[in-house]
Amino acid sequence: MQATLGVDLGGTNLRAGLVDSSGELLAWGMAPLRHRRSPEQFVADMEVLYRSLLKEIEPPLTVTALGLAVPGPLDPVKGEINGAVNLPDWNNIPLVKLAEEALKLPTILVNDGSAFVLGEVTAGVLQGSSNALGLTLGTGVGGGLFLDGKLRTGATGNACEIGHLIVEPGGRLCLCGRRGCLEQYASASAVRRSAIALAEAGELPELLEQVEGNSTNLNTRLVSEAAQNGNSYCRELLAEAGRWLGRGVAQALTILDLDDVVIGGSMARAGELILAPARQSIRQTAFPPRPRLRLVQSKLGDRAAIIGAGSLKLHTDSRLINSD
């Protein structure tokens, strides 16, 4: 049987999986990505994970390609990753060359947001959708666009950097150097920072107890759990992130006529606590109104970008995905 390897280079983890031609994930696994790990170390770890996944499958697979989902900006033609804000030391890194030398597989580079939305359209909650936007709310906010039945990555492979859409001019300073970017308000990191500030102001004593008084150990999972148990401060933190998310989506809708928007990343686990305020914000701010728009939570979670990256080969024979 033939399969492809899909790899997702996230902010904290490396995830890899073997994907068949229908988008089914045959085996997958992950390894921690230590802060500022070198590209060479990443490729070595990816190879170890790949070999261990191959051993899980009987009869042996023929693996035909590698799809590599990475944080942007990237150069898919040269196969380089260029200064992602969460991997600041990775400048002009020839990741495709390094991966092809190590794994001996033809490799396509794609933005992780694009891989996410392609995964959800191929095998997740948006199966069958033709016009969908995907947003991942994690360390940052990633975006991917599936329009008129195709993955769209634009002239240079960097379409849909929606995390750096400015939603609050003059607002919070972003790692990209500008102010007011969506990811400073709606990412898991942003919610975590707000929770830490609240805890240090003495407003979240029960949550602080759970992390033995060390506020830096707070995370969005704990915030979501507390919100689900009725903590009003945590509910408001998530609702606020949801309202900002809605503003960002409404801006995207002004340009893109979409049926569906899917939310992934660690913040998506908050479900309706973030989605309901986001829908309300979209209703209030989108023009023209989009009454039929669906805003939903990812079904595949951490596996979406792996499946999307692994499915790239079905969509293109070119490194620049649109040039078919």
Most distant CA atoms of the chain, gap in Å: 58
Nearer to Zn ion, 183 or 302 (CB): 183
Among residues 174, 245, 286, 312, the one that binds Zn ion under rule CB under 5 A: 174
Nearer to Zn ion, 181 or 223 (CB): 181
DSSP string, 45-57: HHHHHHHHHHHT-
Report if residue 166 touches Zn ion, rule: CB under 5 A: no
Over the window 220 to 249, marking each residue x when it contacts Zn ion by CB under 5 A and - when it does not, the resulting string is ------------------------------
- Rounded to whole angstroms, the Cα distance separating 81 from 75 reads 6
Nearer to Zn ion, 174 or 239 (CB): 174
CA atoms within 13 A on the CB side of 319: 15
Question: 281, 246 in Cβ contact below 8 A?
Answer: yes
Order across the sheet with 25-32: list the strands: 25-32, 13-19, 2-9, 62-70, 107-111
Q: Can you read off the two tokens belonging to residue 58? A: 């009987």
Residue with smaller CB distance to Zn ion, 171 or 271: 171
Q: For Zn ion, how many residues bind (rule: CB under 5 A)?
A: 4
Looking at the Cβ atoms of 181 and 239, the one nearer to Zn ion is 181
Question: Which DSSP letter does residue 266 get?
Answer: G
Sites for Zn ion among residues 175-214 (CB under 5 A): 176, 181
Report the nearest approach of Zn ion to the CB of residue 73 (Å). Answer: 12
Span from 58-66, 161-169, 192-200, 294-302 in contact with Zn ion (CB under 5 A): 161-169
Residues that bind Zn ion (CB under 5 A): 164, 174, 176, 181
